[in-house]
Structure 1
Amino acid sequence: MRNDARLVLLDKHQVETLLEPGQVVEAVREAFALHSQGKGRVFSVVRESLATGAVFGIKSGDVQSQDLLGFKAAGFWPGNRSLGGEPHQATIMLINPITGRPVCLIDGNAITTMRTGAAGGLGLTLLARADSTRLCVFGTGVQARVQVSFAMRVLERLASIRYVTVDGQRDAAFEAQFIGRCEVSHASDRDVAVAESDVVITATPGSGPLFDAQAVRPGTHFNCVGADTKGKRELPEGLLKRARLFVDDRIQARQIGETQWAPDTACIEIGDLITGVTEANRQPDDVTVFDMTGIALQDLTVARLVHARAGETGTGTSLGWPW
């Protein structure tokens, strides 16, 4: 019986200090590559509604050659808003695959936000037109902001951002985050905003189509974030049929992503572009869609990065965890 085992705890503020965008991008790139090469496994997703009105899920996986194993328990608790808290909640656990003992317990909110933003940045790098200058984003919450932040990192010619809100009102806090870095304006007509944009990011709760399919012009790229549960969608009927579809995980996208609404649509996994299994061969008039459902390997590679940096910097709380 071992009595010297330790469990590292990392809270929200500690995780935020350990996340560096460039390093997260590389960790997410590795996750997609491992998935493409069959070296990283993604286990079946749990996603269930609760009697409380919340949605609870588990994403898990492993990389056997790297002794990487773990899961993220996460979901959406809308009632948290009335408590002054964040409705999205996530907790990540890294597990020793040899013994099954927990190694590190991490607040997963910041990791989820950053790894999703990094995935969006990779999607834009691989799929958006290099001459893209105009971006439209649906939503102004945490995920919308991180998606725009990564877009500004990778779209060198980005000059304007138009944002669409649920209530049709301006969001001064959203504008303040990006003003001065490029032109930022509120869009009163969502179809016009889509029609006049090169890149469209949808980062909403996924309650239904956000715009008309007829508004989409040739050459537009979409990063779709909000559809992550059965029944959710952001894109209008018919758009996937005229688009070139890219996904993070083919099976998962058909189960809970935007692809659930057109499951027979041919698609390419983003990891296959990263590893060179296939090429995007994007043509100027192609409409492209990146259906981002988020895979467990993203959480695990970024959590491993955070755990390693915590050890290097002496961050976190180490508890005796004998067995």
Structure 2
Amino acid sequence: MTVPDPDELLYLDAAQVADLSRTIDPLQVVTDSFLAVHAGKAGITPEAALRWRASDGTGARSLVLPAWHGDSYGCKIINACVGNPDRGLPRAHGLILLFDPDTAMPVCVMEGGRLSALRTAAVSLAAVRGVRDLGDIRHLAFLGAGRQADTHLELFAARTHPVAVTVHDMDAGRAAAFADRVARTLPDAAVEVAATPRDAVRAGDVTIAATTTTTAYVPLEWLPRGAVFVNVSLDDATEELLLGCDHLLVDDWPLVAEDETRLLGRLAHAGRVTGPDAAPPQGGRQVDADLATLFSGGYRRPVSAADRIVVNPFGMGVHDVALAALVYAAARRNGTGTRLAR
């Protein structure tokens, strides 16, 4: 990276980020990032969290996730309010900042919502690819029909061959609108709006849970043999599902274990769940592996076609920084962006 202009800061808006990211394969980026973390060539530091209640009583928060990947350094600031969908707004908004590796000067700030959604969906897809042949995925199920569902559909539709998609959302109108988008994206696939979350989960080879719930509700018995449940949101999976599935995978165990806002973190604090390198507690279980270990070939337990698998990703800023660095490089090549005076 060249020495930045001390008088300028590059800003990339949402449309510019979306356009530049079309040249990037997010699945490859997040997979490479996991392997880089495993090799000590990338990493994260503890995140900072600020939480409060909006004036209508809904929960709001701001997270700052610092990370580095090779010679790229930066952080993601991701804010969310669970009341936003009722206001006609996306639940989450964010920014990503990149820093010059030699001077530590901020060199770029970009809208982070698109990259955050891409990163999240790419991690889900990479995890599923780590345990299943993507060509065998025939039925996708979605719990929640917001932006994360759209982005997951976008990435999964490009890599799998679903013949059916089922969706459930507490807002029937939102579920119907998502089903319409599925019909346009996958015109040959059967699309169904499930009346209950149970109906959706029981239908899917892969279920993507992307809701705003803080109350766990998906038990083990809903999950068909051989299915993969990706718990993108906070607490869809119950303790029974987390403790009883055949394989429990996380992106980063220290992040998961330290956060008591999610059920798996609370179970860790209660001594009910331990990390991949610790013995399982009596009456509880051990997390089987993190995704970096899975992708590097270090996970030695066989994964059968009948096994029920839960992926519980926390969200690692290293993937956002890796994606943002590529977007920034493309912006500089193309002369894209607005130069702001410091």
Among 244, 248, 253, the residue aligned to 1:245? 248
Which letter maps to 2:63?
G
* Equivalent position of 1:139 in the other structure: 144
Runs of 4+ in structure 1 displaced over 6 angstroms? none
Which deviations, in whole Å up to 9, do the C-alpha atoms of 1:170-224 show, x marking residues without a partner? 7332112111141111011322332232211100013222433322222110111
Which deviations, in whole Å up to 9, do the C-alpha atoms of 1:96-153 show, x marking residues without a partner? 2322210111110111011111111111211235533222110000001111222222
State how far apart, in whole Å, the 2-side matches of 1:3 and 1:20 are. 27
Matches within 5 A, 1:1-323: 4-20=6-22, 23-52=25-54, 53-63=59-69, 66-78=70-82, 80-81=84-85, 84-128=88-132, 130=134, 131-156=136-161, 158-168=162-172, 171-179=175-183, 180-227=187-234, 233-243=235-245, 244-256=247-259, 257=262, 259-263=264-268, 264=273, 265-278=286-299, 281-321=302-342
- Tell me the SS of whatever aligns to 1:200: strand
State how far apart, in whole Å, the 2-side matches of 1:202 and 1:175 are. 16
Please tell me whether the aligned partners of residues 168 and 175 of structure 2 are also in contact (alpha carbons under 8 angstroms): no
State how far apart, in whole Å, the 1-side matches of 2:23 and 2:340 are. 29
State how far apart, in whole Å, the 2-side matches of 1:3 and 1:170 are. 46
State how far apart, in whole Å, the 2-side matches of 1:198 and 1:141 are. 20
State how far apart, in whole Å, the 2-side matches of 1:205 and 1:79 are. 9
Summarize the Cα distance change of 1:276–1:211 in structure 2 as closer, same or farther, 3 Å threshold.
closer
Which deviations, in whole Å up to 9, do the C-alpha atoms of 1:7-35 show, x marking residues without a partner? 11101111111112752222212211111
When normalised by structure 2's length, the TM-score is 0.84
Which deviations, in whole Å up to 9, do the C-alpha atoms of 1:84-103 show, x marking residues without a partner? 43331111100123222101
- Tell me the SS of whatever aligns to 1:262: helix
Which deviations, in whole Å up to 9, do the C-alpha atoms of 1:154-178 show, x marking residues without a partner? 223x211110111455733211211
State how far apart, in whole Å, the 2-side matches of 1:170 and 1:146 are. 15
Please tell me whether the aligned partners of residues 57 and 74 of structure 1 are also in contact (alpha carbons under 8 angstroms): yes
Alignment coverage as a number of residue pairs: 312
Please tell me whether the aligned partners of residues 45 and 67 of structure 2 are also in contact (alpha carbons under 8 angstroms): yes
* Equivalent position of 1:230 in the other structure: none
Which deviations, in whole Å up to 9, do the C-alpha atoms of 1:214-239 show, x marking residues without a partner? 22222110111102xxxxx1102211
State how far apart, in whole Å, the 1-side matches of 2:238 and 2:86 are. 31
The alignment-based identity, stated in percent, is: 24
Instruction: Choose 233-242 or 188-197, whichever is displaced more.
Output: 188-197
State how far apart, in whole Å, the 1-side matches of 2:212 and 2:171 are. 13
Which letter maps to 1:99?
T
Summarize the Cα distance change of 1:3–1:239 in structure 2 as closer, same or farther, 3 Å threshold.
closer
Shift of 1:81: 4.8
Shift of 1:78: 4.2
Summarize the Cα distance change of 1:181–1:18 in structure 2 as closer, same or farther, 3 Å threshold.
farther
Please tell me whether the aligned partners of residues 219 and 240 of structure 2 are also in contact (alpha carbons under 8 angstroms): no
CA RMSD of aligned residues (A): 2.2
When normalised by structure 1's length, the TM-score is 0.88
- Tell me the SS of whatever aligns to 1:307: helix
Summarize the Cα distance change of 1:3–1:300 in structure 2 as closer, same or farther, 3 Å threshold.
closer
State how far apart, in whole Å, the 2-side matches of 1:75 and 1:310 are. 25
Shift of 1:273: 2.2
State how far apart, in whole Å, the 2-side matches of 1:97 and 1:189 are. 50
Which letter maps to 1:58?
V
Summarize the Cα distance change of 1:151–1:4 in structure 2 as closer, same or farther, 3 Å threshold.
closer
Unaligned ranges ≥5, structure 1: 228-232
Summarize the Cα distance change of 1:170–1:18 in structure 2 as closer, same or farther, 3 Å threshold.
closer
